[in-house]
Amino acid sequence: MPAMSDKLNSKLSLSLIISIILHGALIIFLGYKVIQDNDLNYGSINGQSVDAIMVDPSVMTEQYQRQLKSQQRQQQVDQQRQQQLEKQAKELQEKQLAEQQRLKDIEKERIKAEKEAAEKAAKEEVERAAKEKEIAERAAKEAAEKVAQEKAAKEAAEKVAQEKAAKEAAEKAAQEKAAKEAAEKAAQEKAAKEAAEKAAQEKAAKEAAEKAAQEKAAKEAAEKAAKEKAAKEAAEKAAKEKAAKEAAEKAAQEKAAKEAAEKAAQEKAAKEAAEKAAKEKAAKEAADKAAKEKAAKEAAEKAAKEKAAKDNELNDILGGLTSGTPSVATGSTPSRKGVSDGELDKYKSLVQTAISNKFINPNKLYSGRHCVLQIQIATDGFLIDVKSQGGDEALCREAISATRAAVIPKPSSSLYEQVKTMFIDFQPK
């Protein structure tokens, strides 16, 4: 733009110089014409010319005066013409300057318009680029958010799987620990019981009246142990069959959902089932061995008691101690079975409430269904094991999870034997 303006100014200056030169040439030509006309008219008179020349001073003076006046008039005319020419030149120059100014203004307007158009175009280009950039950024942001959401979903799924595996491992470890503690406690109880039986045997040698009570207590304990063992074996067998059935159904469902995951789950389930079966087999063999040893020991103790009874039979007859024996046996019964049905129901109600507090029933999905839970606890209420013994499968899975998360209240010492292995008919509201 500045180069164009300089070019236009140089053109206008050239036109002005040419115009001044032409006006100057015109003024010189007109002046020369006036002088030439005066020279041609000098010495000529109107009328008939004569060959003789008379010199009259007055005429010469008058002629000189006329010529002077004529020159003065001519000078005035020339001056007026010069003034007029100068005025015309000035007016022309003013017009040219005005024209130049007008052209400059037009050029300025044109430059301003072009500048405004360029600025507008640049602004529109910037706005368009900004808009395109914003669209691109929005698309990139949406793509990034989508990728982030997919990544978050994947991480959440992996985290859930890891948490589930960790939870299962923790539950398994807790169960193993509880089983170990229960075994140790049973061993301690067994040792204490053996010590007590030994003391009872020593006391039986002195007091014949305790013979019948010990025999009755031993018989009841043996019957109870046999019943508990039979119930436990039946429950374990049913639980194993149900676990195998649930594992098969779960494997089938997982296979329909995702074949690759199902294969891994089956392998893991098979491995865990094999490990669990091996552990259960080892535990069962150990329990059977312990039961056999206990039975052998009890048989030996019983033989010793019978021998002691025969040795002291005479003293029993002579001392009349047999009459006091029934009262001792009768008095021991309430201490073992002094738990009312109300207390048992109340404790089971507390356990069911604890499970319900951890159970989630979205939109009452499981209302109207039920699940029978077999719960095994320690003396302090610690959960050793929980299994389903029938009912809705989906509800049983959720109920087992809620039971593992629940805080089961500690039973009283007199109530523990009745609730250490209990059955709860769980029905969510």
The confidence score (pLDDT) of residue 278 equals 61
- One CATH from 2.40.30.10, 3.40.50.620, 3.30.70.660, 3.30.1150.10 for 338-429: 3.30.1150.10
In the block, tokens 């003293």 appear at: 315
Q: Which of 353, 386, 356, 354 is nearest to 372 (CA)?
A: 386
Q: Which helix (H) or strand (E) holds 104?
A: helix 57-206
pLDDT at 293 (0 to 100): 67
The Cα–Cα gap between 384 and 240 comes to 16
User: For residue 89, what pLDDT is reported?
Assistant: 84
The tens digit of pLDDT for each residue in 100-115 reads 888 989 988 899 888 8
Predicted confidence (pLDDT) at residue 219 exceeds the cutoff of 70: yes
Q: Could you tell me the pLDDT band of residue 274, with boundaries at 50, 70 and 90? A: low
pTM surpassing 0.95?
no
pLDDT score for 5 = 54
Q: What does the pLDDT read at residue 283?
A: 64
Q: Which range in 113-117, 228-232, 233-237, 278-282 is most confidently predicted, on average pLDDT?
A: 113-117
208: number of Cβ within 10 Å: 23
Residue 146's H or E segment, with its range, is: helix 57-206
Structural domain boundaries in the chain: 2-35+61-129, 190-337, 338-429
Q: How confident is the model at residue 263 (pLDDT cuts 50, 70, 90)?
A: low
Contacts of 372 (CB under 8 A, 6+ apart): 388, 389, 390, 391, 423, 424, 425, 426
> Which of 37-46, 169-178, 226-235, 383-392 has the highest average model confidence (pLDDT)?
383-392
Whether 198 has a pLDDT exceeding 50, the answer reads: yes
C-alpha–C-alpha distance, residues 343 and 413, integer Å:
13
Question: Which range has the worst mean pLDDT, 48-57, 135-144, 168-177, 420-429?
Answer: 48-57
Question: How far is it, in rounded angstroms, from Cα 120 to Cα 127?
Answer: 10
Q: Indicate whether 427 pLDDT > 60.
A: yes
Identify the pLDDT of residue 335: 38
pLDDT of residue 317: 47
Question: Tens digits of per-residue pLDDT, 307-360?
Answer: 666 655 544 544 333 333 333 333 333 334 556 788 999 999 999 999 999 999
pLDDT of 397 above 90? yes
Nearest Cα residue to 85 out of 142, 150, 20, 133:
20
Higher pLDDT, 165 or 296: 165
